Amino acid sequence: MKISSNFDSGNIEVVAISEGGQIDLRIPKDTKADFSQWFHFRLSGAKGQACKISILNAGETSYPEGWKDYNICASYDREHWFRVPTTFVEGMLACELTPEHNSMFFAYFEPFSYSQHLAMVQSAQDSTLCQVEVIGETVEGRDIDMLVIGEPAPGKQKIWMVARQHPGESMAEWFVMGFLEKMLEETDSVSRKILEQACVYVIPNMNIDGSIAGNLRANTVGANLNREWENPSLERSPEVFHALAQMDAIGVDLLLDVHGDEALPYNFVAGSEGIPSYDSYLEGLENKFKASWMATCPDFQDVHKYELDAPGTANMTVCSNQIGERFHCLSYTIEMPFKDNAEMPDTRYGWSADRSIELGKSVVYPVLAVLGDIEPQT
Strand partners, 130: 149
* Residue 319 and residue 162 in contact, taking contact as beta carbons nearer than 8 Å: yes
369: CB partners within 8 A, 6+ apart: 288, 289, 292
Strands of 130-137's sheet in order across: 130-137, 143-149, 198-203, 157-163, 254-261, 330-337, 268-270
110: CB partners within 8 A, 6+ apart: 73, 75, 81, 170, 171, 174, 352, 353
DSSP string, 248-264: HHH--SEEEEEEEESS-
Instruction: Please report the DSSP string for 29-90 in residue order.
Output: PPTTSS-----EEEEES-TT--EEEEETTGGGSS-GGGGTT--EEEESSSSSEEEE-EEEET
Strands (E) in the chain, as ranges, are 2-4, 13-18, 22-26, 40-44, 51-55, 72-75, 81-84, 86-89, 92-97, 103-107, 130-137, 143-149, 157-163, 198-203, 254-261, 268-270, 330-337
- Among residues 211, 200, 228, the alpha carbon closest in space to that of 319 is found at 228
Question: Helix 171-183 and helix 364-371: axis angle, to 10°?
Answer: 60
The catalytic residues are 335
Give the HSE-up count for residue 281: Cα atoms under 13 Å, Cβ half-sphere. 15
- In angstroms, the CA 257 to CA 276 distance is 20
C-alpha distance from residue 331 to each of 28, 57, 153, 161, 287 (Å): 33, 36, 22, 10, 12
